[in-house]
Chain A
Amino acid sequence: MNLEILAYPFLFVAMYFEVFLLITLLSAPARAARGRPLLAEETLPSVAVVVPCFNEAGTIGDTVESLLGLRYPKERLSLILVDDGSTDDTLRELRRFERHSQVTVLQKENGGKHTALNAGIAAAPYAEFIACLDADSLVAPDSLRYVVSCFRHPQVAAATGSLSIHEPRGLLGHLQYGEYFFSITLRHIISSINGLYVTPGPLSVYRRSVIQEVGGFRHGHQTEDMEMALRIQRAGYRIENALLARVFTKAPRTLRSLLRQRIRWTSGFLRNMTGEYRDLLWNPRFGVLGLLVLPLGLVSVAGGILLFCLAIWTLIRRMADFYVLSSGIPLDYALVPQSLDIFYAPASATLLLALIAVTVALGFIVLGKRLSRTKGPIRYGLAAYALCYGIIAPLWLMRAAADVATGTHRTWR
């Protein structure tokens, strides 16, 4: 049996989703989102930015500095810095900022990120909107204005920003740099048809009344931002995205820390989808989210694993065949291609479809950079994404799937 056939359904789905995204990008809702005007300064609502911190002494200073630099009326912006029982100098770092009238520092026993967020929300009963920001992220001066400008319609319960990697370094840094631009495009398009299922930690803003209605943050299998977004969607609200709300986060620098982060995200998604939020899948009541985005999320996990295993199996089989075939033949003959004639180009439907899919994905990366008006070169990000993402991503997909299947739970860090 030709195992390549197994790849066709996944390539079809990948191609279909990319085409769907491209069409939706050109549709009226996405065009309208790109042209969304900023709210006038006098109409800006009151916002409390909650920053949960656990052992973030190395990064929290820059994060708070960036928040203090937001172009937002001071009297309508408060910063709630929550130390979730850190064991390093985080609290001392936070106290440095208490001299600012906007800043409130809370300290509590360690209970997890969701408890820190809830403590921050409880401390700001006056705020119309609650913004959440991870302690390793930096916001651009206008980012908050762009995000709150998404809340013109009362059905909009939450809005997210456009997240990029801050000062990418090395192969993994550039890989994530490219990947995050892909996500910017994806989030922009999907949000225009209300298909978002994550309100990421690095800058998401919630309507306070909706948080009160659906309840505060939960553990959510270590993906409290995803769990909250799913709960908001289930309650029938919209989640928007502000393309020009620029947020920068620090990328995991080692493969180990990257895998740990992604295993947490993927296993959180799988656990939410196979557990409490299973009813959203294939449910027409939730529109594109229930019928397309969430099912495709599951298919992409399965497809990523299967295509990777298929590629590894094909590689091993070819190497074994080559070893048997070339046994006794000098390597200088066996390893050198006998002809570079174009006649022998290994063109196949699988290869061509995969090339098209990767090219469109790279196009989305470039588009994400242009749409979010980010300056600087992208070539390393494109190269790292094209060459390495398909090799590294299956590692966390497989591990996360195995964790969910075996009921294994990991610590956050």
Chain B
Amino acid sequence: MSLVAKNALLALLITVLIIGTVFYAIEYLDRRRAAEVSAIANRLLTDTLSLETQFSLLEDAPCETLGKGGLLSELSDLGERLSFTEERLGSDDTEVKELKKQYTLLEIRDYLLTKRLASACKLNPVTVLYFYANSEDCETCDRAGYALSYLRETYPTLRVYSFDYTLELGALATLVAVEKIEKDLPAFVIQGKTHYGFTNIDELKSRLPEELLETATSTPTEDIEL
């Protein structure tokens, strides 16, 4: 075999190895991301359980201890990481689907805990339940989601819970049934009232209570008060 042929074959072997390593490394990184998201979700699950337990223990006076509680900022961070991971691994990835279910359950539990705290402590948090689907089933969901992210940053007291309408999860199906959400997405439940469709951010803002709009800040806070 000539020198050139030998070099050509060796180069092919090395190239395949390099490219294989690159693809493996990227897949490994994506799996590490998913693992990180899973670790955060597990930690939040523990925190949620702790909050719920505290709430039960302090039934008579939960407000002083838990008034500043809630895990929404951590949940938002988890949601963003999960969304990025979903972009990387795809919506059909089994691990992503499981993480989304875990995340959805955490959101529902936080939402319920918030409601209980609000009732016990006589608070009136502004809550948005946002139901979406992927862009094939919902053309304006990406825009609505982005607008809500902006509103959440701008109005720190706004609590946004995002739910993938198409996710197969019993608790989510129950929430959809309880809130009577139809498949006309995007759908928003704001202060108990259901709205469908998204045209622009101003229209969405007009659905929010006026007292919330007076709380705008340029520096979003970490701890979200109820």
A and B held together in a complex: yes
A residues in contact (CB < 8 Å) with B: 12, 15-16, 19-20, 23-24, 27-29, 193, 287-288, 292, 324-330, 333-334, 338-339, 343-344, 347-349, 352-353, 356
| Contact indicator B200/A12 (Cβ below 8 Å) | no
Q: Which of A29, A325, A334, A348 is in CB contact (< 8 Å) with B26?
A: A348
Sample of 27 A–B contacts (CB below 8 Å):
A15-B15, A15-B18, A15-B19, A16-B11, A19-B14, A20-B7, A20-B8, A23-B11, A23-B14, A29-B3, A193-B7, A325-B146, A328-B147, A329-B146, A329-B201, A330-B150, A334-B150, A338-B80, A339-B80, A343-B36, A343-B81, A343-B84, A344-B84, A347-B26, A349-B23, A353-B22, A356-B18
Q: Which of A23, A292, A327, A338 contacts B200 (CB 8 A)?
A: A327
Q: How far is the CA of A349 from the CA of B23 in the complex (A)?
A: 6
Interface residues of B in 23-68 (CB under 8 A from A): 23, 25-26, 29, 33, 36
**Residues in chain B near residue A347, CB distance under 8 A:** 26, 29
Interface centre among B8, B11, B81, B143 (most CB of A within 10 A): B11
Summarize A's interface: helix, strand, loop or mixed. Answer: helix
CA A325 to CA B147, docked complex, whole Å: 8
A343 adjacent to B11 (CB under 8 Å): no
* Chain B interface, number of residues (Cβ within 8 angstroms): 32
Partner of A333, one of B14, B81, B153: B153
Q: Which residues of B come within 8 Å of A, CB atoms?
A: 3-4, 7-8, 10-12, 14-15, 18-19, 22-23, 25-26, 29, 33, 36, 80-81, 84, 142-143, 146-147, 149-150, 153-154, 200-202
Closest to A194 in B: B4
Partner of B25, one of A15, A287, A292, A352: A352
Separation of A193 and B36 alpha carbons in the complex (Å) = 50
Distance, CA A334 to CA B14, complexed state (A):
43
B142 contact set on A, CB distance < 8 A = 325
Q: Is the CB of A20 within 8 A of B143?
A: no
Q: Contact check: which of B8, B10, B19, B201 meets A353 at CB < 8 Å?
A: B19
Q: Which residues of B contact A333 (CB under 8 A)?
A: 150, 153-154
B26 touches A12 (CB 8 A): no
Cβ contact within 8 Å between B4 and A288: yes
Chain B residues with CB under 8 A of A339: 80
B153 cross-chain contacts in A, Cβ below 8 A? 333
In this complex, what residue of B is CB-closest to A17? B11
Residues of B within 8 A of A352 (CB): 22, 25-26
Is B22 touching A193 in the complex (CB atoms < 8 A)? Answer: no
Whether A20 lies near B25 (C-beta < 8 A) is no
Q: Hey, which chain B residues are within 8 Å of A292, CB to CB?
A: 4, 8
